[in-house]
Structures are given as structure tokens and as C-alpha cells.
Copies of this chain bind each other. A is one copy, B any other.
Amino acid sequence: MTKPTDSELEILRVLWSNGPSSVRLVNDKINESKETGYTTTLKIMQIMAQKGLVERDETSRTHIYRAVAQKGQVQEAMVDKLLDMAFGGSSSQLVLSALGRGKTSKEELDQIKELIKKLEDGDQ
């Protein structure tokens, strides 16, 4: 599975949150935050289909695209790359940087503490 480019990721985000969608819908969503021509979005989605990042249902004239690349996998690949490229592979350094700016709520911190507890229990 090829790694998505930035534009491709933007499209995947829409497909992940909205489910299988037409180019029109994806383009509209993207245009909420950024002006992009319809054919630009179309073209990128066609390329994504070639790469296998998405699949499309061509039954009706308006093709419906769905994400093949799954959110968790793509996230994991991106975290791996970031770890490798900027944190010397140390996940704790990355975590410290992600937490180290006070934008994390109490609830989120609790979640993280719970995961750490699980990891510690599982390890022994």
C-alpha cells in the first residue's frame, strides 16, 4: 500500500469520516476549508484508485469511492515515519513532544495513563 501524499490524505480523511462518497461530495467537503477545482479532486481520486488507495463503484454514472487504506494503518505508517525521521525512533520523545504543550485534557491524560498501565501489566 503506497503512502498517501498530502492531497490524498485530505481525501482519505473525508472518506473515513463520511463513508463511500462521490467526487462531488469530497470536493465540497474539501472546499469548506480550501478552494480546489472539481477536476483537481477528480484527478487525484482517479490516481488514488490506480494506486489502490481507494476503490470505486462504477455502477451508476456518478462513481462512488471508498477508502481501501484504513485509518489506523495510515496513522501508524505516518507515526513510524515521523519517529524515524525526527525522533531517532524514540516513541517516548515523540510522546513527550506531543504532550508537552498543555493542549491535552484531563480525560485524555487519563486515557493515556490507562494505556500505560495496560502496557506495564502486559510486559511482565
A residues near B (Cβ < 8 Å) are: 6, 9-10, 13, 72, 74-76, 78-79, 82-83, 85-87, 90-92, 94-106, 108-109, 111-113, 115-116, 119-120, 122-123
Q: How far is the CB of A104 from chain B (nearest CB, A)?
A: 5
CB distance from A72 to the nearest CB of B (A): 8
So how many copies of this chain end up in the complex?
Answer: 2
Query: Which residue on chain B has the smallest CB distance to residue A99?
Result: B115
Interfacial chain B residues near A113, Cβ < 8 Å: 113, 116
A87: B residues at CB distance < 8 A: 75
Q: Does B116 lie within 8 Å of A86, measured CB to CB? A: no
- Contact A78 to B86, CB < 8 A, known contacts A103-B91, A108-B92, A116-B113: yes
